[in-house]
Amino acid sequence: MVRPADRSEICGGQSATVAAALNKIPVYVRAGSILPTGPAITYTAEKLDGPLTLVVYTGANGAFSFYEDEGKDYGYERGEFSNIPMTWDDARGVLSIGARTGSYPGMPMSRTINVRFVSGPGADVGDFDAAPARTVQYAGQAVEIRR
C-alpha cells in the first residue's frame, strides 16, 4: 500500500490510502493528460457556446480529441458532430489545438478556450477554479499555445 502523503508521484497499478478533507477530493492524473472542463450545466444541450477550459497536466506528451454534438437527438448517427484534436508536446511546452472537423446544427462557430498548465510533484491538480495561463478565441482553425 502506498501512502501519497509520503510520495508526491505514484506509479500506476497501485492502491493508495489517502486522507481526504470533506471539501477537497484527492485527484490523481496521468502526466500528459488534457482535461476539458466547462461551465456547470443541467442538460446536454445547454451552453454549447460556453467557455472551455483545458487543464494540461505536464510531464509527458499527450493527446485528446474533443467531441461535440447538438446534445438533443440522434444527429450524431447522421454524422452531425465535430472533433477538435489536441496535443501537448512536453519538450517544446506547446499545446496544439487542431483544426475542427465536422459540424452539427447550432454549433458555435467560435468559443473562448482558457488553458491552465499543472506541473510538478505536489501541484494542486484539482483546483479547477484557478486562473488560466492563456486564453484564446478559437474559431475552428489550428492554433498553438506556448506555456
Amino acid at 97: I
pLDDT class of 23 with cuts at 50, 70, 90? confident
Average pLDDT, the chain: 86
Question: Which of 73, 143, 83, 146 has its CA nearest to residue 112?
Answer: 143
Q: What is the predicted pLDDT for the residue at 7?
A: 47
Q: For 127-132, what is the mean pLDDT?
A: 79
The C-alpha cell that represents 13 in the structure block = 497499478
Can you tell me the distance from the alpha carbon of 20 to that of 43, in angstroms, rounded to the nearest whole number? 30
Place of cell 488534457: 34
Q: What is the predicted pLDDT for the residue at 1?
A: 44
Beta-carbon contacts of 91 under 8 Å, excluding residues fewer than 6 positions away, are 61
Question: Which of 49, 66, 67 has its CA nearest to residue 112?
Answer: 49
Can you tell me the distance from the alpha carbon of 95 to that of 142, in angstroms, rounded to the nearest whole number? 11
Can you tell me the distance from the alpha carbon of 107 to that of 66, in angstroms, rounded to the nearest whole number? 14
Please indicate whether residue 21 or residue 63 has the higher confidence score (pLDDT).
Answer: 63
Q: What is the predicted pLDDT for the residue at 78?
A: 95
